[in-house]
Amino acid sequence: MSLSSHVSDTCYFHIPAVLWDRLPSWMQGAEPGELICPHIALTSNPAPATLYNDDYFWITKYMCLELVAAMAILAIFIPLARKIRRGGPPQGRFWNLFEWGLLFVRDGIARPAIGGKGADRFLPFLWTLFFFILFCNLLGMVPWCGSATGSISVTMVLACATFITVVFSGSKRFGVIGFWRAQVPDVDLPLPIAILLKPLLFCVEVLGLFVKHGVLGVRLVANMFAGHLVLVVILGFIAAAAHSSTMVWGSVTAVTVIGCVALSMLELFVAFLQAYVFTFLSAVFIGMAVHRH
């Protein structure tokens, strides 16, 4: 099995073989240790089940993990919102931790980047964005799971959500024509030069608007995919040394495990950092849309 299959979207989860043996046959994948994802046959005589087989509709691994992240967010924040609505302060470390997270996004990201209390109307979007990315990143630290944010499809959808919010909020503030005119900075130029330069500036700014949102999605997937791929490669050293002497294999295993633990701690930090960076840049782009250059 290729290393990339461990960090890419598939139609199965890797689980320990001891658990795989106890699964019913319809949940077992083609190879030992594969827990097959939910799927629906679209034809009466489907071919063998694979992710890219048009005879099936697949709920893929990353779809399942995104659903888990969404359900976890609902399970945490709906009760928290009810506690706050009743006027009672959240009690306990668990509830205070997530309330602190909400306040951090509001006071540390939204209001500084967008500006004042006018940023509060964007908080539902930014809160959802931050915690969804964070939970998806943290699921990548769970054995036999994966990080949905390691897929370019997922991160580009998140970037498109930010892009739509930017265009909609800017158009609502200045009007559709006014928003696109506002992409050109107000520069006091002589009329002949303005006629020449302002269309060029408009093209550059509009192109930049698309590029910076595309880079927003690429940045997240690159960081998450690369970190997990490095972990898989390092763990592969143990298998590569399996046919060597016991001393060599033991030494490689010990060094590899220590390295993976240290890198996992770094990945845990990156999970929080990338959720912050994505949300912060989204807030910056929204702030640029609702305020003229």
131, 271 contact by CB (below 8 A): no
Closest CA to 113 of 285, 277, 273, 275: 285
Torsion angle (degrees, nearest 10) of CA 89, 91, 94, 100: 30
Give the CA distances from residue 11 to residues 22, 32, 42, 92, 152, in Å, rounded to whole numbers and listed in that order: 19, 14, 16, 39, 17
Sketch the domain layout of the chain as residue ranges. 1-59, 60-290
Confidence at residue 70, expressed as pLDDT on a 0 to 100 scale: 94
Residue 174's Cβ-count burial label (10 Å; 0-12, 13-18, 19+) is middle
The answer for residues whose C-beta is within 8 angstroms of residue 36's C-beta and 6 or more apart is 11, 12, 26, 27, 28, 29, 49
Confidence at residue 1, expressed as pLDDT on a 0 to 100 scale: 45
216, 282 contact by CB (below 8 A): yes
Six token digits for residue 292: 């003229």
Confidence at residue 274, expressed as pLDDT on a 0 to 100 scale: 93
Confidence at residue 49, expressed as pLDDT on a 0 to 100 scale: 60
Provide the residue count of the chain: 293
State pTM to two decimals.
Answer: 0.84
Confidence at residue 247, expressed as pLDDT on a 0 to 100 scale: 83
- Each residue's pLDDT tens digit in the chain (293 positions)? 444 555 677 777 777 766 766 777 666 666 666 777 776 766 666 666 665 566 677 788 888 899 999 999 999 999 888 887 887 666 778 888 888 899 999 999 999 999 877 888 999 999 999 999 999 999 988 877 888 898 888 999 999 999 999 999 999 988 888 888 888 777 777 777 777 888 888 888 889 899 999 999 999 998 888 877 787 778 778 877 877 777 888 888 888 888 888 888 888 898 999 999 999 999 999 998 888 76
What is the C-alpha separation between 65 and 35, in angstroms, rounded? 14
3-state helix, strand, coil in the chain (%, to 5): 70, 5, 25
- E-assigned strand segments in the chain: 12-14, 34-36, 39-41, 56-58
Confidence at residue 55, expressed as pLDDT on a 0 to 100 scale: 67
What is the C-alpha separation between 162 and 114, in angstroms, rounded? 14
Confidence at residue 26, expressed as pLDDT on a 0 to 100 scale: 61
φ/ψ of residue 198, rounded to 5: -65, -40
Confidence at residue 3, expressed as pLDDT on a 0 to 100 scale: 47
Closest CA to 37 of 5, 16, 63: 63
What is the C-alpha separation between 175 and 165, in angstroms, rounded? 14
